Amino acid sequence: MVPMDEKSFSQAVALLSGEHSLAILRYLAPGEWRIASDVSRALHIHTTTASKFLGGMHALGFLDRRPRRAHTRSAFEYRIAAPRIALALDLTEGPAPLRQALDFYLDYVSHVLARGRRLGWPAIAEKLEARLDRDGSGSRDGLFERIVRGGDARGMEELRSVFHGIHDEFLQITSASVGTETARRLLAGAADEARKGREQVVDRYGLRKVLEA
């Protein structure tokens, strides 16, 4: 049995917990090829309900599927792939995605600088850039090479620590010019923009939390 990732596991649980799921599986248990309308007629359920379940279970690998050979409109036939259905969830962390984490943090920095300029605060942007230049934190390749030397777990911990410190200094710099509440909104907005498209990595490894004042 191949363990599922979290998304596939959640989809399987949702499908199998449906009102008609077990009845449909029992109907398919003999192993014969069936189309959605067969299931609908046999169990007195809507064809759309049967079709969604069959398609979803096929996508997860629990049902075989083939085009139906007929002169009428085309349809897919399904049969159960194995008489036993079991779910296995892989909870191991695996290697920490350091490159994706670094990209998130550097995008956060870029969004902070861009927001400062866009809002007409060039002095703030200059101070923030000076902070980054002080230790080379804005250099993607240099910082990545330094972080990965610590290994996956230690590297991720160090990366969070580095940008937690940068965030704190960003907050101090911007607060001195525009006030603490405005500064917090500016930094939070930049973090939200950087999170888009990489939500799973950011949330799983707590990358966003270190950017919260």
Domain assignments of the chain as residue spans, ordered by start: 6-80, 98-211
What residues form DSSP beta bridges with 79?
64
Q: Residue range 88-110: average pLDDT?
A: 76
What phi and psi, each to the nearest 5 degrees, are found at residue 70?
-155, 160
Distance CA 7, CA 13 (A): 10
- Phi, psi at 15, each rounded to 5°: -65, -45
Q: In this structure, which topology does domain 6-80 adopt according to CATH? A: Arc Repressor Mutant, subunit A (1.10.10)
Question: What average pLDDT does the structure give for the chain?
Answer: 81
Is it the case that residue 100 has pLDDT exceeding 90? no
pLDDT number for residue 88: 81
**97 has pLDDT over 70:** yes
Tell me the C-alpha distance between 144 and 140, whole Å.
6
Entry pTM? 0.50
Is residue 47 exposed (0-12), middle (13-18) or buried (19+ Cβ within 10 Å)?
Answer: middle
The answer to whether residue 72 scores a pLDDT higher than 80 is no
Burial letters 179-205, b for 16+ CB under 10 A, else e: eeeebeebbeebbebbbeebeebbeeb
Is residue 54 a contact partner of residue 36, using CB atoms and an 8 Å limit?
A: yes
Report the range of poorest mean pLDDT among 37-41, 58-62, 84-88, 138-142: 138-142
Phi, psi of 68 (to 5 degrees): -80, 135
Q: In one letter, which amino acid is 95?
A: P
Phi-psi region of 4 (alpha: psi -120 to 50; beta: other; left: phi over 0): beta
